[in-house]
Amino acid sequence: MSSPGSRPVTPAAASQLNLRGAVDLSSLRRPAPAPPAPSAAPVPARNGSAPTEPPAARSPLRVDAGEENFQDLVQLSAQVPVVFVLYSHYAPESPALLATMEQIVEGFAGRLVLAAADVDAFPQLAQAFQVQAVPTAVAVLKGQPVPLFQGAAEEEQVRPLLDELLKVAEANGVTGSIGGAGAQAPAEAPPLAPLHQAAFDAIEAGDYAAAATAFRQALAESPADAEAKAGLAQVELMGRLERLSAPEAEALRQLAAQEPDNPEAQLGVADLDISGGHIEDAFNRIITYIGRNFGAERETARVRLLELFDVVGTSDERVAKARQGLARVLF
């Protein structure tokens, strides 16, 4: 993976930060811990000059991200934003950007954690974040990705983005901090309830049906369990998407364009849009369908829309806007 074509960060990008569900982070399952990548591999320099060495980890707020600790970092993002820098030993800008990011994150006194991810050793992360070039910076906040920038960047360009990221974090209830001396390893999360743990284990194994069963049982025992409700909506979405091949997905989009009143096609494309981060498109598609149709199909679409609200997060502003649109077509 190389850096040509990368886009340098600009301060104006800070105003565009928002939580978005463009990446299914839970799909990055780790069947077994991967051996750590060599940290001293040389970085080829430009114009055939001598290779340079990547910088050693200096900041106690830097974590080297890999398959073995990725889920822990995602969980940590519910406490503090985790800024992933995806780099490669073959991208000459990587060492300088990592050094810059370490210095900046250290200045935020534990309100951010830096996760350095070698895409050569952990290519699944680059695929999940839809990275086009390295280095790239992507924050994770409450388990959701927040794209930051691609390419090299200076401190005066990055700091406004991270200031804005912390504002978004505060608006979403993420206001924790990590002590500098103990931040090398993420804090251990409290144990999950047994049925939640069973669901998580099933997701790790790729068994979404079993995860859904565990979440349904949790809801049967505690109907007010918001986490189980959201988890059930998420694994049911993942299960539906898993059954679609790429050709089938494309055929579904074509069918939806040809048959706007076909409920299966419209709901199927809404699933695809949610998984691709096109949240408002998905919501608007279902609301438009509900506004044109009546009977059992309309109710099915309404229920699916409410489930997708849970997937995105009921506090998300796009959900609030879509609820208003749903109310207009229903009443």
Q: Which residues constitute the domain of residue 320?
A: 194-330
176 lies in the same domain as 199: no
* 224 falls within a domain: yes
Contact assessment for residue 275 and residue 283, using Cβ atoms and an 8 Å cutoff = no
pLDDT at 179: 65
227 lies in the same domain as 262: yes
Separation of alpha carbons 65 and 69, rounded Å: 6
Which of the listed residues 182, 203, 238 is the one where a domain comes to its end?
A: 182
- Dihedral-angle region of residue 109 (phi above 0 means left; psi in -120 to 50 means alpha; beta otherwise): left
224 lies in the same domain as 171: no
Q: In what order do the strands lie in the sheet with 136-141?
A: 62-65, 113-118, 82-87, 136-141, 144-150
* 1 falls within a domain: no
* 187 falls within a domain: no
Separation of alpha carbons 237 and 243, rounded Å: 10
Query: Do you know the residue count of the chain?
Result: 331
Which of the listed residues 132, 155, 182 is the one where a domain comes to its end?
A: 182
CATH of the domain at 87: 3.40.30.10
Separation of alpha carbons 125 and 143, rounded Å: 14
Contact assessment for residue 61 and residue 114, using Cβ atoms and an 8 Å cutoff = yes
Total domain count for the chain? 2
Task: For the beta carbon of residue 290, count every other beta carbon within 10 angstroms.
Answer: 23
Closest CA to 235 of 199, 205, 262: 199
Q: 168 CB contacts (<8 Å, ≥6 apart)?
A: 17, 18, 19, 141, 146
Separation of alpha carbons 220 and 225, rounded Å: 9
pLDDT in tens, 287-307: 999 999 988 999 999 999 999
* 51 falls within a domain: yes
168 lies in the same domain as 141: yes
| Token reading at 23 | 């990446």
Closest CA to 158 of 90, 93, 102: 102
Separation of alpha carbons 18 and 142, rounded Å: 12
* 200 falls within a domain: yes
Separation of alpha carbons 277 and 175, rounded Å: 25
Contact assessment for residue 152 and residue 8, using Cβ atoms and an 8 Å cutoff = yes
* Per-residue burial over 228-244, b = 16 or more CB atoms within 10 Å of its CB, e = otherwise: bbbbbbbbbbbebbeeb
172 lies in the same domain as 289: no
170 lies in the same domain as 235: no
Contact assessment for residue 54 and residue 40, using Cβ atoms and an 8 Å cutoff = yes
40 lies in the same domain as 99: yes
Burial category of 176 from C-beta neighbours within 10 Å (exposed 0-12, middle 13-18, buried 19 and up): middle
107 lies in the same domain as 210: no
* 188 falls within a domain: no
127 lies in the same domain as 164: yes
Separation of alpha carbons 2 and 18, rounded Å: 27
pLDDT at 203: 86
* 3 falls within a domain: no
Which of the listed residues 182, 208, 227 is the one where a domain comes to its end?
A: 182
174 lies in the same domain as 204: no
Closest CA to 9 of 140, 163, 168, 152: 152
Separation of alpha carbons 169 and 19, rounded Å: 9
* 261 falls within a domain: yes
148 lies in the same domain as 200: no
100 lies in the same domain as 168: yes
- Name residues of the chain where pLDDT drops below 50: 1-24, 26-58, 180-187
- Dihedral-angle region of residue 11 (phi above 0 means left; psi in -120 to 50 means alpha; beta otherwise): alpha
